[in-house]
Structure 1
C-alpha cells in the first residue's frame, strides 16, 4: 500500500507530462519577415476586406448578421488581425464563422486563439480535419513530433461545393487538394452598388515537397490530387481574385501607393493563369 501511494502520484505525474508533451506547440522560427510585417487593412470590393499582414492574407467578409474571417496567419497575428478589423470600424466579437484555405501554421496559427476570443464556429475542408485535430503533427510534409499550431475545435467539415452562409453572404467551397489534403478556395458574389462581382479567394497550389511525388508515402494520392486541382482551377470563372498569400496575387505591386477604392486592380486573370501554368510545369517534373 505504501508502495502504491508513492507509485500513483508518480504515474499521474508521468501521464500529465506525456500529455503536456503531446500538446506542445512549436511554431517554426525561421519564417519570412513579410509574414509578420504589418499592412494597412483596406476594402477590396463591397463587403470584402483585407485584414492580414504584409504577406499572410486574412479576409473579412462583413454582414448585418455578423462576419466571416478567412485565414489567421501565424500565432502572433491574432492581435494584429483584431486591430485591423477594429480600425475598419467593425466589432471583432461579431466574427461568427472562421474559414481557411489550408491548414498550415502560417494560415491557422492564430485560429484557436481567435476562436476563443470570438466564440466563432470553425469550418474546414473534411480532408484537412485530421491535421487540424493534431495541430499539424500529422501533416504529410510539415508534420513531426510537435504540433505547429494549436488544435482547433471544428464545428463543421466541408466538402466540395458546400455552401457557407451568414446574413447576405454566401460562399461556395471549392476543393483544391495537393498543397494540403484539404486545401480549398472560396467563391462568392459581392455586391458593390449596382454591380455584382464574382470573387475567388484562391488557394494557389504551390508544391512544397522537394522529392518526387512517388516518394511521398504519407500522401500516396498527391500526384492525382494536384492534377485534379491543376485541371480544375483554370476552369473557374471569376471577376476578381485574391489568394492566401499577398505575394501570390501581387498585392503590393498592384496597389502601389494607391489608398483609394479600386476593385479593378484585382481583375488580373492573366496573373492567375500564369501562376497555375507555372505550377503545372513543376508538377510534370515531379511525376517523371
Structure 2
C-alpha cells in the first residue's frame, strides 16, 4: 500500500509540475531582468496600447477585424504579454499580425510562442526574416558575438520598405531603419480619438552598440555606418506625433509612461519632435563612437 501511495504521489506531482516548453525557455534570465520589469497594460492613444514592460515595449493596435502586436520580447516574457492582452479585454486568438522590429533575442525571442498561442502571422523585413527563420544572427550584425540564439519563427511574411500592411480599418507602413541590425524595421500608423488623429511611430533601436573588438570605422563595416545615417535621416523625415521606441529608456519613454499612468494631461507621449530627437541622440552617439575609434 505504501508503494502504491508513493507512486500515486509521484504521479500527481509530475502532473502538477509545469511541462518544459521549448518556446518559453528563458534566455539570459539574469541579464534580461533589466528589461522585464512588470508594467500594467495601458492605452496610449486611440486604438494603441502598450502590453510590455518597463524596459521593453510591446505595442498592441486594435482594428475592426483583429489585433496587431508589435514585437514579442523574450520567451520568458510571453505569459506576461498574453496576460496583459487579456487584461485589456481582448482575446489572444484575435491577434492576426505580429510585426517585428529587429531580429535580436530580446525583441524576437518570444515571437515563436506568440504565433503558436495566437495563430498570428509574423511580419518582418527580408533581412530580418532570414534571421528569424534560423533563430540565430549572422556576421552582418555588429553584436553577433554577444547574441544568443532564440526559437525560430516558422510562420512569416516578409515585407519591403514602404510596404503597407492592412488589417481591418488600420494601415501600418513598414519603414526600413537598418544599422542596429541589417533588417531593423520601424512601423507607422494613424491612431484616432474622436475627430483627432495622430501619426504613431514604433521605432526600432538605433543604438550603435557592438560586440567587443568590432569597429564601425573599419572599411569593411562602412555599409553599416551608411545604414545608420540613412535611418537617422528617415526618422527625422517621418510624420511623427507620438513615438514608442523599442526600449522606452531610449526615448524618454519611462518617464512618459509613468506620467501617462498617473493621468497626466496633455498626453505625455504627444511630442511632434520625438522622432527627430531620437535620431539626433543616436547620430551623436555614432559620431562619438567613430571619434573614439579614430584616436
Q: Shorter-chain TM-score: which interval?
A: 0.7 to 0.9
**1:43/1:261 contact within 8 Å kept:** no
Partner secondary structure for residue 244 of structure 2: strand
Map of 2:287 onto structure 1: 284
Map of 2:242 onto structure 1: 240
Map of 1:206 onto structure 2: 207
> Deviation of residue 269 (structure 1)?
3.9
Matches within 5 A, 1:64-83: 64-83=64-83
Map of 1:195 onto structure 2: 196
Map of 2:150 onto structure 1: 149
Partner secondary structure for residue 34 of structure 2: helix
**Hey, what's the Cα distance between the residues in 2 that align with 1:146 and 1:172?**
28
Map of 1:173 onto structure 2: 174
Deviations 1:146-200 (A, max 9, x none): 9521010243111110011100110001000000101111111112111111111
**2:240/2:274 contact within 8 Å kept:** no
Which consecutive unaligned segments of at least 5 residues does structure 2 have? 1-22
Which consecutive unaligned segments of at least 5 residues does structure 1 have? 1-22
Map of 1:159 onto structure 2: 160
**Hey, what's the Cα distance between the residues in 1 that align with 2:234 and 2:146?**
34
**Hey, what's the Cα distance between the residues in 2 that align with 1:108 and 1:66?**
21
Q: 1:92 to 1:233 in 2, by over 3 A?
A: same
Between Structure 1 and Structure 2, how many residues are aligned?
264
Matches within 5 A, 1:1-288: 27-138=27-138, 140-143=141-144, 148-209=149-210, 211-215=214-218, 221-256=223-258, 258-260=261-263, 264-287=267-290, 288=294
Given the two structures, how large is their TM-score scaled by the length of structure 2?
A: 0.81
State the Cα RMSD in Å.
2.5
**Hey, what's the Cα distance between the residues in 2 that align with 1:220 and 1:26?**
35
**Hey, what's the Cα distance between the residues in 1 that align with 2:146 and 2:208?**
23
